[in-house]
Structure 1
Amino acid sequence: MICERNELRGILANYTNKDLNNRAMLYHRLNFELEMFKMEHNQMISELQKLPMEISDALDNCKGLIEETESISYLHDQVLRDWTQMKKNVHVLRLKNRLLWKEQIELQDSCEDLKSLLKEAHEMICEPSADQQLVA
């Protein structure tokens, strides 16, 4: 009986040591995981505290982009108005150019007609006097 008692004590002691070792390992593992969760928690809190500032910066950037877009839109409208006015001016100038070409052609024709008339008049005036000089 003493032998069996000692054997049971040995088994119990061994079981208790294993249980204590398992509990110690479990405690260390749980402690490590708790520390990891604490670090993650602190990091999340830190990021959450930065979030309002990041939102404010993003809002400022959006306002700046809106102002820039409005400015560009205004300039685009101005350029479009100027371009439209220039198109109208070019159209008017082309019409004037056509009229001037027609007028130039008419003037050239008139000049040619006038030259012919002057030549005829010159011949009429100058030839009889040349004939009179020959006769004389």
Structure 2
Amino acid sequence: MPAWSVTIDIDAPPDRVWALVGDPTSVPRWYPKYAAAEVDGDIRVLRTAEGGELRERLLERDEGRRFYSYTVLSGAPVASHFASFEVVAEGAGSRVRWATQAEPSDPSADLRGRLVGTQTEALERMKRIVEAGEA
């Protein structure tokens, strides 16, 4: 299964960054494709303004490590999927790592090529929110 990760350094303490990253309902704040997010048990549902829905299962969560993982259940063109976020101390600030493993439903699709740009933009938005003190 193809795997990749994107990272960003944020000028803020890890606990402050984790307050945003670790909140599974915060996705619409930093990933503009989604207008709403809700969690019921271990199921997260992300909705677009147009009514599209992405259903995910929240898997492992480790507050001490500032880590959580999830998998897509429906709403994306993937045959298999696993992703995680981790926030670690980096110098006087933090580093966020978003790791993804995914197999597209269509074997000819370049899922990594399609997602890395939007994942990078999302992390840059996250950085602006945290560094502006809005998290």
User: So what's the TM-score if we normalise by structure 1?
Assistant: 0.19
Structure of greater relative contact order (alpha carbons < 8 Å, 6+ residues apart): 2
Higher gyration radius (CA): 1
